[in-house]
Amino acid sequence: MIGQGSFFDPSEIKAGSNETTLRKMRPEDLPKVLAIEAVSSSTPWSEQMFLDEISHPFSSCYVLEESSSPGEVLGYICFRILGKESEVLNLSVSPSFRRCGLGRKLMEFYLGYSVAQGVERSYLEVCSSNEGALQLYRSLSYEVTGRRKGFYLGRFDAFTMVKRLCKTGDIFERMG
């Protein structure tokens, strides 16, 4: 459960000097989520794609909002857990709040949640030109395992990345 047994407390997320709240994504969040998605992705998800993930039995979608302005979405993450594996499907932070550590906090929440669910490996794909995301994922011990040529609009390559999680000690420790 979130907040119980995981190493990350969502109430600790801060955006600059503002307190933030992490909660499950709801359909009424989608106008704000879609606005962030439109300026963040070369292949943005549609409203239906988000609705499908919100209702999918193995998916979890969360939004990060300003506590003082409920409904003001700063970022979001969608992921799936299936057995011992999980995959980050979508992660973005509003351009106004990038480089404030919110992407890292969303990932730390996701990783803590995954470990609490018994996940052993986490996967994701990232555009090979997205230096900010690559830097974040590498700092969290993700490793590039492959390259998909022209994955994004036939023009941009995607890196596939994996992180092995362990159940004891530091969850970011790499397993040999």
**Residue 135's domain is classified under what CATH number?**
3.40.630.30
Crossing angle for the helix pair 30-40 and 47-55, to the nearest 10 degrees: 120
pLDDT at 137: 96
Does the pLDDT value for residue 168 go beyond 70? no
pLDDT tens-digit map of 42-74: 889 999 999 999 999 999 999 999 877 777 899
- When computed from its CA atoms, the radius of gyration of the chain, rounded to whole angstroms, is 16
pLDDT at 122: 97
* Residue-number span of the structural domain to which 38 is assigned: 10-164
| 75-96 mean pLDDT | 96
Residue 174 lies in a domain: no
User: Which residue type does 46 have?
Assistant: S
Residue 54 lies in a domain: yes
pLDDT tens-digit map of 8-50: 444 444 444 458 889 999 999 999 999 999 999 888 999 999 9
Using alpha carbons only, what angle is made at residue 86 by residues 80 and 90, rounded to the nearest 5 degrees? 55
- Give 167's pLDDT tier (boundaries 50, 70, 90): low
Instruction: Give residues with Cβ within 8 angstroms of 12, minimum separation 6.
Output: 105
Question: 66: part of which helix (H) or strand (E)?
Answer: strand 59-66
Residue 173 lies in a domain: no
Residue 93 lies in a domain: yes
| 82-106 mean pLDDT | 93
The more confidently predicted of residues 166 and 120 is 120
| 85-95 mean pLDDT | 96
- Kindly report each contact of residues 55-61 with a partner whose C-beta sits within 8 Å and lies 24 or more positions away, as own/partner: 56/80, 58/82, 59/89, 60/24, 60/113, 61/24, 61/25
Instruction: Give residues with Cβ within 8 angstroms of 4, minimum separation 6.
Output: none
Residue 176 lies in a domain: no
pLDDT at 152: 78
Instruction: Give residues with Cβ within 8 angstroms of 172, minimum separation 6.
Output: 111, 140, 141
Give the tokens for residue 11.
Answer: 């109430």
Does the pLDDT value for residue 169 go beyond 70? no
| 146-162 mean pLDDT | 88
Total domain count for the chain?
A: 1
